[in-house]
């Protein structure tokens, strides 16, 4: 039914009378050609047409998801879904009322409207086109063309430019303020009722954000040109899913890759000369401030001994029909909004309050940054784009060009806080926050961010004080800090706000260095070796501990002996056919608390190979076997086989059909990361991990790209593109992306459609 409605709408669009078309040139005009897996190739002669076509095609695939996200950023979730229900905000679940209060208070729409006027004309036109394209789809689809999941819902409505400004702001805050939304939304002066919702201080390393990215230069590739492997780890559900597109726009702009919900251009992909990917950076994009409050009034704070009033903002959140609206007053300072996390001792009392100042608040520069990357001719252009705009919000940029240069730029919108300032402005309790953020003294104006010449916004750290490296060998990142992108060339030490220095790397980072070195030792990189590297399902944790663990097994009895037998036969991989992987996954989780787990401690002179060697001395041997026995017993009580196929344990349901999913947790040192949650059935369902995987090189004609989108293009179960790429991913089948007009024509599914108005 839905297909016939869309077809009818298309016929109306392309068969408009010639006389009508001749009256006036359309304001919005684009063509859409779909190829294998439903990938849209959007062509337009101007930027309005680009945004128009992207929005229309995205809505065809993911209307319900996008419509709900517009409700979220407008602060209307409580009205339509109830205040106590929860939804994913950023990467974590948040109650709807806290979400609504946050968006209505923190997103400053008047300020966003004002700053939108400073956007480049093409960025403004992209937004204008996106609004028109989304609304055009709603009109063409009609009531019966809306997917069943949101058909007839009042929250599926036309949008305005305000919705796009809010959406962009939300994306910029994903790795910062958004993670403290309940803490900000529920902050109230002393004497106020305690928050009714649980508030946590999130661990940045556990926010569901990750990725692997590689850039290879001419000295290590088979053809002497650059190559990029992109393996971003993003959620399988919700608005932070990637979506593939190919855009051919004005003045030679032609880019293919992916974007998130509501993004009008490619944010990760390639053009004819350059390919790039992103990984979430360890750099911090905000600072916390501890305020000294005025003894006479807890809504005033002292700066350099002078009392200063907080800014009060009252927001009203509409409730479901028949229920009164909820009103809250939030407070903000020169150092950002006040927040509370009572379980961590972060409270607002008569003496002290805490605030968060975010470098990405109001950052609309990212649109132009990604447009500039998309039109880059070489790595120098990419580096200039991220450095001059400081518009990249919270990700590393890893890129290579056809000339054989490779780049890793950990250059983002970061507070300009030097190591010296972080030290001299630290408060006595700063150490309690160290894993989360830098805490500064808000009683001193000198502890505000330093203004540096040449930055687009005062208080941002200049690019030349951040980390960027260009080589002709290789560089990689798996979410650890800038310190090491290649073990052969560690970076000099920079401000602590950019990440940890000379500290232990994650098992996934170490696995990356080891497997990359192994791949290059076997020969120069080509697409075949790159594919094997991207789908590296070996577990470094298993390689590090199983040899020593199995030496203890001759003395094991009962459940421990049965666990030993299963692990001895396991191939130490998380492929679909691997048997015993679920047992090891559970065992590793159970031994983290054992002291002296590693016999050889971390050595900053050898970060790739330390720590290592399972510590089996003293009581550790008995503790390890006891932990194994405990896991075995628990699995057997749950009816789980110790030697089950991993693909029978980690899966996705496509209707009644199970699709086995390979890959495993990054904390097991698995590059092809899949973090899963246990379902009621006992099976493990991917929550976030490997998403859009691309391998991009170049020949004399243009890019040569193999890719797959693990969770497929569409969130509409009725779409033929809801699970097609998921099945391909399960079989480790890659897709050679069509970029040239000839290849697009050869792989087209259906006719090219023109939309215009």
Tens of pLDDT, residues 499-533: 999 999 999 999 999 999 999 999 999 999 999 99
> In 3-state terms, what secondary structure has residue 482?
coil
Pick the CATH number of 2-186 from 1.10.439.10, 3.10.180.10, 1.10.3720.10, 3.30.530.20: 1.10.439.10
0.85 surpassed by pTM: yes
H or E element that contains 615: none
pLDDT tens-digit map of 196-222: 888 887 765 555 567 999 999 999 999
Q: CB–CB of 510/452 below 8 Å?
A: no
Q: How far apart are CA 278 and CA 266, in angstroms?
A: 12
In angstroms, the first-to-last Cα distance of the chain is: 25
Share of residues in the chain with pLDDT > 70 (%): 96
Poorest-pLDDT segment among 124-133, 172-181, 558-567: 172-181
Give the per-residue pLDDT at 16. 44
- β-strand partners of 333: 336
Residue 15: pLDDT over 50: no
Residue 196: φ, ψ to 5°: -90, -5
Which sign does the torsion angle of CA 559, 563, 566, 568 carry? negative
Average pLDDT on 233-251 reads 95
User: What CATH topology corresponds to 540-662?
Assistant: 1.10.1400
Q: Give the whole-angstrom CA distance, residue 748 versus residue 369.
A: 31
> With 70 as the cut, is the pLDDT of residue 8 above it?
no
Give the mean model confidence (pLDDT) for residues 567-594.
96
Give the integer Cα–Cα distance in Å for 160 and 81.
22
Q: ∠118-123-129 over CA atoms, to 5°?
A: 130
In this structure, what token pair is assigned to residue 328? 């809250």
Give the length of the chain: 757
- Residue 205 confidence (pLDDT): 57
Per-residue pLDDT at 13: 41
Structure token pair of residue 667:
């904390």
Two tokens, residue 644? 């089950």
Question: CA 225, CA 698: separation in Å to the nearest integer?
Answer: 7
Domain ranges of the chain: 2-186, 286-358+418-447, 540-662
Q: What's the pLDDT score for residue 5?
A: 34
Instruction: State the catalytic residue, choosing from 211, 218, 511, 578.
Output: 211
Distance between CA 511 and CA 534 in Å, rounded? 12
pLDDT of residue 202: 72
Handedness of CA 371, 377, 382, 388 (dihedral sign): negative
According to DSSP, residue 744 is labeled H
| pLDDT over 90 (residue 441) | yes
Q: What are phi and psi of 317, to 5 degrees?
A: -110, 120
As a whole number, the mean pLDDT across the chain is 94
- Bond before 611 cis per omega within 30 degrees: yes
**C-alpha pair distances (Å), 619 with each of 626, 629, 709:** 11, 16, 47
pLDDT in tens, 84-97: 999 888 777 899 99
**DSSP characters for 487-526?**
TTSPPPP--GGG--SS-PPPHHHHHHHHHHHHHHHTSSB-
Per-residue pLDDT at 204: 57
- As a whole number, mean pLDDT of residues 308-318 equals 97
Question: What per-residue confidence (pLDDT) applies to 42?
Answer: 98
Tell whether the model's pLDDT for residue 23 goes beyond 80.
no
Q: Which of 5-9, 369-373, 390-394, 547-551 has the lowest mean pLDDT?
A: 5-9
Cβ partners under 8 Å of residue 681, min gap 6: none
Where helices occur in 570-667 by DSSP H, the ranges are: 581-590, 620-637, 646-649
Other Cβ atoms closer than 10 A to 566: 20
712 given a catalytic annotation? no
More confident residue, 612 or 16: 612
Place of tokens 């120069």: 524
Residues 37-69: tens digit of each pLDDT:
999 999 999 999 999 999 999 999 999 999 999
Residue that is written with structure tokens 């009378």 in the block:
17
* CATH of span 286-358+418-447: 2.30.120.10
Question: Per residue in 723-732, pLDDT tens?
Answer: 999 999 999 9
């Amino acid at each position: 039914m839905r297909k016939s409605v869309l077809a009818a709408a298309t016929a109306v669009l392309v068969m408009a009378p010639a006389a009508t078309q001749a009256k006036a040139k359309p304001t919005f005009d684009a063509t859409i050609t779909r190829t294998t897996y439903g990938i849209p190739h959007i062509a337009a002669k101007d930027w309005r047409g680009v945004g128009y076509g992207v929005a229309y095609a995205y809505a065809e695939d993911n209307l319900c998801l996008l419509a709900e996200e517009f409700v979220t950023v407008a602060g209307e979730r409580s009205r339509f879904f109830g205040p106590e229900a929860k939804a994913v905000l950023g990467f974590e679940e948040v109650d709807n009322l806290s979400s609504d209060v946050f968006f209505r208070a923190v997103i400053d729409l008047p300020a966003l409207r004002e700053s939108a006027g400073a956007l480049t004309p093409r960025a403004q036109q992209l937004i204008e086109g996106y609004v028109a394209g989304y609304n055009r789809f709603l009109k063409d689809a009609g009531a019966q063309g809306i997917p069943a999941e949101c058909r007839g819902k009042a929250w599926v409505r036309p949008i305005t430019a305000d919705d796009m400004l809010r959406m962009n702001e939300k994306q910029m805050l994903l790795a910062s303020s958004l993670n403290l939304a309940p803490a900000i939304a529920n902050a109230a002066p002393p004497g106020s009722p305690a928050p009714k919702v649980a508030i946590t201080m999130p661990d940045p390393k556990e926010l569901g954000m990750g990725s692997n990215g590689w850039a290879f230069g001419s000295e290590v590739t088979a053809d002497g040109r650059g190559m990029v492997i992109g393996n971003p780890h993003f959620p399988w559900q919700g608005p932070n899913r990637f979506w593939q597109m190919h855009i051919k726009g004005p003045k030679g702009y032609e880019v293919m890759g992916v974007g998130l919900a509501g993004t009008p251009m490619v944010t990760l992909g390639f053009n004819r000369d350059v390919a790039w990917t992103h990984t979430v950076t360890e750099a911090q994009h905000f600072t916390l401030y501890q305020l000294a409050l005025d003894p006479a009034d807890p809504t005033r704070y002292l700066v350099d001994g002078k009392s200063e009033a907080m800014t009060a903002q009252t927001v009203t959140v509409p409730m479901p029909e028949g229920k009164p609206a909820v009103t809250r007053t939030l407070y903000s300072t020169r150092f950002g909004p006040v927040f509370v996390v009572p379980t961590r001792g972060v409270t607002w009392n008569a003496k002290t309050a805490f605030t968060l100042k975010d470098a990405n608040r109001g950052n609309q520069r990212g649109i132009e940054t990604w447009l500039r990357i998309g039109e880059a001719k070489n790595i120098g252009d990419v580096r200039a784009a991220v450095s001059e705009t400081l518009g990249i919000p919270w990700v590393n940029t890893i890129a290579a060009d056809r000339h054989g240069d490779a780049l890793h730029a950990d250059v983002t919108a970061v507070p300009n806080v030097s190591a010296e300032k972080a030290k001299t402005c630290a408060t006595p309790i700063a150490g309690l926050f160290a894993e989360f953020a830098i805490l500064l003294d808000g009683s001193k104006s000198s502890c505000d961010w330093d203004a540096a010449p040449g930055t687009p916004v005062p208080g941002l750290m200049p690019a030349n004080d951040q980390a960027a490296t260009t080589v002709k060998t290789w560089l990689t990142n798996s979410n650890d800090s800038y310190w090491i992108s290649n073990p052969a060339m560690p970076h000099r030490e920079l401000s602590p706000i950019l990440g940890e220095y000379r500290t232990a790397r994650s098992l996934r980072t170490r696995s990356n260095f080891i497997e990359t070195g192994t791949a290059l030792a076997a020969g120069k990189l080509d697409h075949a070796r790159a594919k094997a590297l991207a789908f590296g399902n070996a577990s470094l944790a298993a390689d590090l501990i199983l040899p020593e663990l199995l030496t203890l097994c001759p003395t094991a009895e009962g459940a421990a002996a049965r666990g030993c037998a299963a692990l001895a036969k396991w191939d130490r991989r998380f492929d679909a056919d691997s048997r015993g992987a679920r047992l090891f996954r559970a065992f590793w989780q159970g031994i983290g608390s054992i002291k002296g787990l590693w016999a050889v401690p971390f050595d900053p002179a050898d970060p790739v190979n330390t720590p290592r060697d399972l510590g089996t001395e003293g009581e550790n041997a008995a503790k390890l076997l006891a932990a194994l026995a405990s896991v075995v017993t628990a699995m057997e009580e749950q009816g789980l086989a110790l030697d089950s196929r991993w693909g029978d344990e980690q899966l996705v349901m496509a209707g009644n059909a199970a699709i086995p999913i390979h890959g495993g947790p990054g904390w097991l040192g698995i590059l092809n990361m899949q973090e899963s949650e246990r379902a009621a059935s006992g099976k493990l369902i991917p929550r976030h991990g490997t998403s859009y995987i691309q391998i991009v090189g170049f020949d004399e004609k243009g890019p040569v790209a193999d890719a797959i989108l693990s969770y497929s293009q569409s969130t509409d179960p009725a779409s033929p593109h809801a699970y097609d790429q998921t099945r391909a991913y399960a079989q480790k089948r890659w897709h050679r992306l069509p970029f040239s007009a000839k290849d697009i024509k050869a792989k087209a599914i259906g006719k090219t459609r023109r939309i215009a108005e």
